[in-house]
Structure 1
Amino acid sequence: MSQSHAQDEPIAPVPRVTIQAFCETQSVADSIEAMAADRRMVKAHVRVQTGGGAAAAAGAGGGAPPHERLLEARSQSPEEFLEQLDRLAEVCDSGTEVIVLGYVNDVGFYRELVRRGVRDYLIVPAAPIDLVRAVSGLYAAPGAKPVGRTIAVIGAKGGVGASTIAHNVAWSFARTLASPTVIVDLDVAYGTAGLDFNQDPPQGIADIVFAPDRVDATIVERLLSRCADRLSLLAAPAVLDRTCDLTETAFDHLVDILRASTPTIVLDVPHVWTAWARRLLVGSDDVLVVAAPELASLRNTKNLVDLLKQSRPNDHPPKVLLNQVGVPKRPEIAPADFAKALGLEPAAAIPFEPQLFGTAANNGQMIAEIQPNAKVAECFDDIARAIVGRTAERRRSGGSLLEPFLSKLVRRKAS
């Protein structure tokens, strides 16, 4: 699988384990260092040493045994390396998993490695994402369900409609793509997901945030509100009876629980910049940044995109959606200029439709419920398909998601 498509299949985060890597070349050491910096490895502790299989066998008896060893096999013949593995097995802890990075593409050598208990064999050069996938695969239970995909949606500034976009895209995941979906409203004090779905649950995410030690899968399931077929909501209480000074890892356990049981998790992230918000954005499988076509949104979007590209080198770049395009008498940055400044094409441009969106908000409905055939409802479906990498079942003439909306705006301005 190519690195550019590494996230077509979500990779589970690696648990809190220790990993020793014994390398013979700098290039392999660099790949392992890059693996250790990946967002899925944030809980793991990785130590890179030189020496290959011989050094691993010589140092296996000292200190606490690691959970995994990564061995590079380069300077030895296959027979010599197998002998080193045999010596390592005599002194290695029985619970330690071994992954070998080698240069020999031979089925006989691979079978000998498997016979000695090696869990995986990767041909060098191996991309960092391939190393992450191999390490993660060691902890996937046989027959376990695929890990859920997390999609974080955040506004480049306040008031750009990011929560509305998040809720409508989640609706498309559940209704159009038939994927069981959970919306998590992370704005504990001011969240609007309950209003948008006409829900007023007595409990929600506050019960998890303020009592994390008591949270398990059963409690999370009980706190979910059913919004529609295959769509559930973990609502925010939207009350101010206590402040929300949350720790960086405040939502880690919740996300882990949801990933184990739900194929699609949409995180409605408020427009704040805290340690926990940054951690959720960097740790999500996909990020959707919602922006308005004006200067402050452009600046903030570029800052977010640059940071996420740097922090997530093995993932797809974040997607950008332009919302509220075509506000009468408001000077705007053209989508083409917005894209040029970002170096990234917006996934879509949603026109300013105050009547449609206002009616949906006041009724506690989604756009597709009010106007199923509206172009903006189709746009939400296309965004959901683009996130999961699924080819659109419906093709518009002209190809680009932007064109129907841009042509409409041109006609509006001309009139």
Structure 2
Amino acid sequence: MTAMPPMHESRSFRPQGREAPVQLYLSGASGDASALVGCRAANLPLVLNLIPVTEWIDRAEVAGAAAAVVQVDADTPASIKRFEKLAGESQTPLLAACYEPPLALVRSLIRLGAHDVLPLPLALDDLETALAPLAERRSADAADKLVRNARLVSVVKSRGGAGATALLTQLAVRFAERETKAGREACLIDLDLQYGDAAFQLGLQPSLTLSDLVEAGSRLDGELMRQIVTRHHSGLNVIAAPTALLPLDTLSNEAAIAIVERAEREFGTVFLDLPANWTNWSMSLLARSDCVLLVTELSIPSLNRARRQLDLIEAQELGALDVRVVVNRAGGGLFKPLRTEHVEQALGRPAAFLVGDDRELMDAAIDRGVPIGELKRKSGLGRDLDAIDAGLVHALRLER
């Protein structure tokens, strides 16, 4: 028998988006134990499981718990053996519970891995006291993991048609493939609510999009986000733009930040394809970025717009942002009046990355919905993307 607490809102720590419970494995629900059904301790929900003291406990169930309280019978060696085996196979904090445990048994259980030994019948106050330090440590670990793993890269277009989305999708799949080998994940969020087609350019046909995350509101958690993302075979998790054209103010500042923060918590490095037109929420996300790629072309209109983008960033007191200029389609040509050295003159900073003009390869990749490496294993375009990838790894202080 398992008694689940009622569903309700909570601000307590939710690993991977789902609120981990405290599993109680007791042989009976007499006395105070029956009153624990539907309760919380240390702001964690309690789940009561009634099983004999010798019955084996599902390790997978324990693995998904914040902690587990396991009843031990001093007169039943098999129950002690069960606790020992579970403690040896599980990373979840275990607490033992026993009727009038002798001091020798308490010491033995602590040596076996028990974080604490609680008296039976189980009282909520005792459980609260025992779980409080575990819950605090769990929250601290989660916050530390978010700080260590979360990276935000925003891609800004100097103007529409600069090839920023095509560049981003190709970069993101290469980045994700290498992150997968390093044991990490990456995510691309297409925030161009009106003209976003990042998923299309990768040959994906998502059934769920950014709109579904917005509609989720306060129900948004890691589990829901993983259901909504479309996974590319490179390992890249893609949150597609809405299928219908939406006004930019459809997305609120609070919703945008909540979605991006959850993506960072779930996937680590998050790429944002921002719309060409600025909004309050896009500026807020830009301010949170660890690195900004400003994509421009070697043309007077594109460099002029890029200069205005940099001026806007400066005017918003975001001059400390790590903004790196990417000159796309930088190949020479008889009718190109500008050279790469003109970029610094126009923008007041040099180009951080140059991407050659291989529109034939890029267009073929987009038409087929595949990474360029599947069409041409070695190319100048691929080498340029590798250079950006290496630059990002350095800028984001990642280890590969």
What's the TM-score, normalizing by structure 2?
Answer: 0.58
Supply the distance in 1 between the matched residues of 2:394 and 2:383 (Cα, whole angstroms): 16
Instruction: Using the TM superposition, name which of 147-156 and 205-214 deviates more.
Output: 205-214
Q: Corresponding residue for 1:141?
A: 140
Indicate the residue corresponding to 2:287 in structure 1: 282
Q: Find the residue that maps to 2:329 and give its secondary structure.
A: strand
**Aligned: 1:301 with 2:306:** yes
The one-character-per-residue Cα deviations of 1:249-308 (angstroms, maximum 9, x if unpaired) are: 331101111111222111111211111121121221110010011122212212222443
Contact kept? 2:228, 2:239, Cα under 8 Å? yes
Corresponding position: 1:262 with 2:267: yes
Q: Could you tell me how far 1:330 is from its partner in structure 2? A: 4.1
Residue of structure 2 equivalent to 1:113: none
Match of 2:374 in 1: 369
The equivalent position to 1:245 in structure 2, one of 236, 243, 249, is 249
- Gap change, CA 1:192 and 1:284, over 3 Å in 2: same
Task: Write the letter of the residue equivalent to 2:164.
Answer: A
Matches within 5 A, 1:210-359: 210-240=215-245, 243-246=247-250, 247-309=252-314, 311-316=317-322, 318-326=323-331, 330-359=335-364
Partner amino acid, structure 2, of 1:209: V
- Alpha carbons 2:304, 2:346 under 8 Å: kept: no
Residue 170 of structure 1: aligned partner: 172
Once the 2 structures are TM-superposed, how far is the Cα of residue 174 of structure 1 from its aligned partner? 1.2
1:335-361 alpha-carbon deviations (Å, 9 max, x no partner): 101123322221222222221111101
Classify the secondary structure of the residue corresponding to 1:266. Answer: strand
Note the C-alpha offset of 1:222.
Answer: 0.6
Equivalent pairs counted in the alignment come to 253
Gaps of 5+ in 1: 1-137, 393-415
Q: CA deviation at 1:333?
A: 2.1
TM-score by length of 1: 0.56
Deviation, structure 1 residue 243: 3.9
> How far is 1:141 from its partner?
1.3
Structure 1 pair 327–158 and aligned structure 2 pair: CA distance change class (3 A):
farther
- 3-state SS in 2 of match to 1:360: helix
Q: CA deviation at 1:200?
A: 0.9
Quote the Cα distance in structure 2 between the aligned partners of 1:389 and 1:330: 36
Percentage of identical aligned residues: 26
Structure 2 counterpart of 1:381, one-letter code? D
Q: Which residue identity is paired with 1:312? A: L
3-state SS of 2:254 partner? coil
1:70-107 Cα distance to aligned partner (Å, 9 max, x none): xxxxxxxxxxxxxxxxxxxxxxxxxxxxxxxxxxxxxx
Equivalent pair of 2:248/2:279 in contact (CA under 8 Å)? no
Would the aligned equivalents of 1:185 and 1:191 in 2 still touch at CA under 8 Å? yes
CA distance in 2, matches of 1:166, 1:391: 16
Q: Which residue of 1 aligns with 2:152?
A: 150
- What's the CA shift for 1:369? 2.2
The residue type paired with residue 226 of structure 1 is R
Worse-superposed segment, 288-297 or 275-284: 275-284
Q: For the residues of structure 1 that align with 2:194 and 2:237, how far apart are their CA atoms?
A: 20
Separation in 1, partners of 2:332, 2:341: 17
Runs of 4+ residues over 6 Å off in structure 1: none
Q: Distance in 2 between matches of 1:170 and 1:332?
A: 31
List aligned pairs for 1:38-53, cutoff 5 A: none
Q: 1:346 to 1:177 in 2, by over 3 A?
A: farther
Q: Separation in 1 of the partners of 2:218 and 2:141?
A: 28
Matched, 1:201 2:206: yes
Q: Which moved more, 1:154-163 or 1:172-181?
A: 172-181
Structure 1 Cα separation of the partners of residues 219 and 241 of structure 2? 18
Deviation at 1:213, TM superposition (A): 2.8
Letter in 1 for 2:273: D
Residue 341 of structure 1 aligns to a residue in which SS? helix
Q: State the partner residue of 2:189.
A: 184
Question: Contact 1:160/1:323 (CA < 8 Å) preserved in 2?
Answer: yes
Gaps of 5+ in 2: 1-136
Which structure's CA Rg is the greater one?
Answer: 2
How far apart are residue 313 of structure 1 and its match? 4.8
Deviations 1:119-143 (A, max 9, x none): xxxxxxxxxxxxxxxxxxx997136
Alpha-carbon distance in 1 for matches of 2:386, 2:346: 27
Give distance in 1, aligned partners of 2:300 and 2:170. 25
TM-superposed deviation, 1:207: 0.8
Decide whether the 8 Å contact of 2:155 with 2:271 is kept in 1: yes
The alpha-carbon deviation at position 231 of structure 1 amounts to: 1.2
Letter paired with 2:289: S
Distance of 1:181 and 1:160 partners within structure 2: 24
Instruction: Find the counterpart in structure 1 of residue 161 from structure 2.
Output: 159
What's 1:67 paired with? none
Relative distance call for 1:391 and 1:275 in structure 2 (3 A) is closer
**Partner of 1:184: helix, strand, or coil?**
strand
Please identify, of 295-304 and 171-180, the stretch whose mean Cα deviation from structure 2 is larger: 171-180
Q: CA RMSD in A?
A: 2.6
C-alpha distance after superposition, 1:315-345 (max 9, x if no partner): 43x0111112347564342110112332222
Rounded to whole Å, the distance in 1 between the matches of 2:244 and 2:257 is: 23
Indicate conservation of the 8 Å contact 2:189/2:270, yes or no: yes
Deviation of 1:169 after TM superposition, in Å, equals 1.5
One-letter amino acid of the structure 1 residue matched with residue 141 of structure 2: P
